[in-house]
Amino acid sequence: MKKLSRKEEELMQVIWDLDKAFVKDAIEQYPEPKPHYNTIATLMKRLEEKGYLAHHEYGGSYEYYPVIAKESYKDTFMKKVLHTFFDNSYLNMLAYFAKEEKISPDEMKALVKMIEKDKK
């Protein structure tokens, strides 16, 4: 899977939320100031070239849809983060969030309960 830029990833989030979209549909999902039509059209073409989107053509208009599921992208992204920053250790990753106070002790306990429940 080819790496996405921040703008490409942002657009993929929009398309995953919509399931399919013409350029104008995607633009409507952005806050003001809205991106220019050509910017979104170019990003969609680039995402198609990278294998993230495909399209159906309707009289010269392209309706794009995701080829890669959001969950699949998330799994790949998280594995890369885990490998790059945490030496493939989930413990190191959780310790990071605990040290940075991004996760509270109560949330950590809830996480342990979730894990234990899923293993039963």
pLDDT digits (tens, 9 = 90+) for 60-107: 999 999 999 999 998 888 898 899 999 998 888 888 888 877 778 888
Q: Is residue 1 part of a domain?
A: no
Rounded to 10°, the helix 105-119/90-99 angle is: 150
Q: How confident is the model at residue 120 (pLDDT cuts 50, 70, 90)?
A: low
Q: Are residues 114 and 83 in the same domain?
A: yes
Residue 93 and residue 112: Cα distance in Å, rounded?
14
Asked if 15 and 66 count as a contact pair (C-beta separation under 8 A), the reply is yes
Tokens at residue 81, please? Answer: 């983060």
Q: Are residues 18 and 61 in the same domain?
A: yes
Tokens at residue 120, please? Answer: 């039963």
C-alpha distances out from residue 28 to 15, 52, 81, 112, Å: 11, 21, 31, 40
pLDDT digits (tens, 9 = 90+) for 32-42: 999 999 999 99
Q: Are residues 59 and 78 in the same domain?
A: no
How open is the CA angle 90-67-58, to the nearest 5 degrees? 155
Q: Are residues 61 and 76 in the same domain?
A: no
Q: Are residues 15 and 45 in the same domain?
A: yes
Q: Is residue 21 part of a domain?
A: yes
- The domain containing residue 28 runs over which residues? 6-66
Q: Are residues 75 and 35 in the same domain?
A: no
How many folded domains does the chain comprise?
Answer: 2
Asked if 63 and 22 count as a contact pair (C-beta separation under 8 A), the reply is yes
Task: Write the CATH number for 33.
Answer: 1.10.10.10
Q: Are residues 94 and 59 in the same domain?
A: no
Q: Are residues 74 and 62 in the same domain?
A: no
